[in-house]
Amino acid sequence: MELFLQQNINAISLGAIYALFALGYAMVFSILGVLNLAHSAIFMWGAFVGLLALDPEKAPLLINFILVGTPLTVIGMVVEYKFIQPGMNYTRSLHLAIQRLIALIIRVIWITILALIGQQIFIQLMPYFPETLTILPVVALIFASVAGGILSIALEFLAFRPLRERKADRLAQLISSIGAALILVNIAQFAFQAVYGRTEAFYPRDVTIFGIGTDPITLGALTITPIRLMILAIAIILMIVLQFMVQRTQVGQQMRAVAFNEKIASLLGIDVSRIYILTFFLAGAFAGIAGILYGMTFLVTTPFIGENIALIGLTAIVLGGLGSIQGALVGGFLVALIQTYSVAFGGSSYRDAIVFVLLFIMLLIRPQGLFGQPEQKRA
């Protein structure tokens, strides 16, 4: 009996992280109809940024990077919108592919110049920073989520928007997200190598959020790590906030309108483009927080932690229902429970297979998942 309870506790705290991750997935899919397979890469970057923020010796690097990066990004965006895009009008007489090629080349050159300038400034500034810098874990959480949100927006502009504008089908958007994921993971590999000398790094063990840390407490025969409970609490709070936002605020209403039908929503005067950006930001922020919480729970961070959780996230949203945000939440916990129970009943080697078999069965019996709407446009 105690074993059973212990297993349940294990499952629930794991489920909270899965649920947070799945939420972002579900948000983008339900509102925008896009399955963003780069979501797991954003999760990993959230963990990485969180790691840099929590490690006193590396935090200066992060702050320096932000100080240098922000103005450069703003400059870059100004140049893009004020010079490059209008400038493209001069090439209208050329074949479309050549136009695009020229645009691409100009952008690549410009971004490289910016990057090199940024690098120089970064190096020059570095000595002025203190050796160590301790950032509060709560602030680190914010860093991680904002980083996730920004990366997610970048994805939207680079990988999804151009495809949407030429009405590409969902398959193309999926592939685009896969390409973006590949790029993000590879850049992370270089970043890890540069900062740590190897593609593996560990969170400090003694992180406490509001005084709650990693030392296990025992209640009878059960053991609980307080930080996992804290993570559970954070996850639940965030989900409630999200739910509130979607159901009660005007912005949320607009998001639901876009989810229902984009054309109608734009006819109603909703700025669909803005909703896209907002949705991507939120989804990325959630992924980023899921990442740093994952890092605090499991300590080890590599550029590849997204790969495992990608399939789990997918399963979670399918089980919960591909149109539904509550579904993602439930799905995340469900997957964690199924995994834990499979292991508990002696099937540790088949754990993932069992999850997939249940996924299969769910798809055959009730494709819309537990909470989804029966087949409509989104399906």
Site residues for other proteins, 319-378, by CB under 8 A, read: 322, 339-340, 343-344, 346, 348-353, 356-357, 359-360, 363-364, 367, 375
Q: What tokens were used for 118?
A: 């940024």
Of 162, 230, 190, 203, nearest to 292 (Cα)? 203
Residue among 175, 233, 251, 277 that touches other proteins (CB under 8 A): 175
Helix (H) or strand (E) holding 222: strand 222-224
- Total residue length of the chain: 379
Q: How many CB atoms lie within 10 A of CB 254?
A: 20
Cβ closest to other proteins, residue 96 vs residue 267:
96
Interaction between residue 14 and other proteins (CB under 8 A)? yes
Cβ neighbors of 273 (< 8 A, separation 6 or more) are none
Task: Tell me the backbone φ, ψ of residue 222, rounded to 5 degrees.
Answer: -100, 145
Residue among 96, 194, 219, 267 that touches other proteins (CB under 8 A): 96
Interaction between residue 115 and other proteins (CB under 8 A)? no
Cβ closest to other proteins, residue 90 vs residue 244:
90
Cβ neighbors of 301 (< 8 A, separation 6 or more) are 44, 47, 48, 51, 200, 201, 202, 203, 295
The answer to whether 289 and 20 have CB atoms below 8 angstroms apart is yes
What does the alpha-carbon distance between residue 30 and residue 256 come to, in Å, rounded to a whole number? 9
Residue among 292, 318, 330, 334 that touches other proteins (CB under 8 A): 318
Interaction between residue 191 and other proteins (CB under 8 A)? no
Residue among 79, 114, 154, 178 that touches other proteins (CB under 8 A): 178
Q: What tokens were used for 339?
A: 């995994």
Interaction between residue 302 and other proteins (CB under 8 A)? yes
Cβ neighbors of 97 (< 8 A, separation 6 or more) are none
Cβ closest to other proteins, residue 322 vs residue 330:
322
Q: What tokens were used for 132?
A: 């160590």
User: Treating both helix axes as pointing N-terminal to C-terminal, what angle do 305-320 and 351-365 enclose, rounded to 10 degrees?
Assistant: 30
Cα 81 off chain centre by: 26
Cβ closest to other proteins, residue 1 vs residue 250:
1
By CB under 8 A, which span of 59-67, 127-135, 217-225, 278-286 interacts with other proteins?
217-225
Interaction between residue 1 and other proteins (CB under 8 A)? no
The answer to whether 379 and 367 have CB atoms below 8 angstroms apart is yes
Q: How far is the CB of 87 from other proteins (least distance, A)?
A: 10
Residues 228-287, interacting with other proteins (CB under 8 A): none
Cβ neighbors of 27 (< 8 A, separation 6 or more) are 242, 279, 282, 283, 286, 325, 328
By CB under 8 A, which span of 81-89, 130-138, 146-154, 234-242 interacts with other proteins?
81-89
Q: How far is the CB of 266 from other proteins (least distance, A)?
A: 16
Q: How far is the CB of 96 from other proteins (least distance, A)?
A: 6
Residues 145-164, interacting with other proteins (CB under 8 A): 158-159, 162-163
Residue among 30, 176, 254, 279 that touches other proteins (CB under 8 A): 176
By CB under 8 A, which span of 218-226, 233-241, 246-254, 274-282 interacts with other proteins?
218-226
What does the alpha-carbon distance between residue 303 and residue 296 come to, in Å, rounded to a whole number? 16
Interaction between residue 197 and other proteins (CB under 8 A)? yes
What does the alpha-carbon distance between residue 177 and residue 183 come to, in Å, rounded to a whole number? 10
Cβ closest to other proteins, residue 198 vs residue 263:
198
Q: Which residues pair with 218 in a beta bridge?
A: 223
Q: How far is the CB of 249 from other proteins (least distance, A)?
A: 28
Q: How far is the CB of 251 from other proteins (least distance, A)?
A: 26
Residue among 205, 248, 274, 377 that touches other proteins (CB under 8 A): 205
